[in-house]
Copies of this chain bind each other. A is one copy, B any other.
């Protein structure tokens, strides 16, 4: 089986031009088949403010109304995605950007929640492994924006961590897949403010224990839930760590390794 690297970069890296440039150089230098999934960063929030579009928050979560969907589609699938692709092309990495509607590559449905309406938010149903394989075989590196579609003409805002996990899960039958969540922290930390408290590896029992002791800070829980879901679904390796250490991270020499 050939290897496939799937790397998610967090919004804080996308927002920082210098950090992003370094990351993209490191990504371009990685050997073999590779996929980049990017989040949104603060540009969409800034754009909404400039356009006087109020952001609705319910229980700390942003609601994607029609105007917000328009902005995230422009910013994520347009500005951020195409600038990353152009920057990778300049680094001799033949990148191609996709959102979920392109080639029906990520099919989703509008979230159906019993109590609250998140608006145009998508939960992933399937990924198109055939199209992804065809493009990877052309030595093309794929760059995914966190926008999906429902096959009924509706674009949907979708969590980038989840997209990375779903692609990793969907590609695992065909490739030995490593999923890397890279962001501004050194990995899963016992003290969110101290990179030296990184946990080198974590298994489900250890994770439950740390959660019960409230030693996992809230923002990490969805990421870790995604990471364990990926491992359970056949992904070979999941690693969480610092974007600026990408070469060491993909080899599991730094960051936190998720263990089945």
Question: Which of A's residues lie within 8 Å of B, judged by CB?
Answer: 50-51, 70, 73-79, 81-83, 85-87, 89-90, 94-99, 101-104, 131, 134, 138, 140, 147, 149, 151-155
Contact = CB atoms under 8 A, between A and B. Distances in A.
Nearest to A103: B96
Q: How many copies of this protein are present in the complex?
A: 2
Contacts of A51: 50-51
Most chain B CB neighbours (cut-off 10 Å) among A79, A94, A97, A102: A102
Contacts of A87: 153
A82 B89 contact: no
23 contacts: A73-B82, A73-B83, A75-B78, A76-B78, A77-B77, A77-B82, A78-B81, A85-B99, A85-B101, A86-B101, A86-B149, A86-B153, A86-B154, A90-B151, A90-B152, A94-B103, A94-B104, A95-B101, A95-B102, A95-B103, A103-B138, A131-B138, A134-B138
Contacts of A154: 86
A104 B187 CA distance: 34
Contacts of A89: 101, 104, 149, 151, 153
Q: Identify the 8 closest CB pairs spanning chains A and B, nearest first.
A: A78-B78, A90-B153, A74-B74, A74-B78, A96-B103, A86-B101, A96-B102, A85-B101
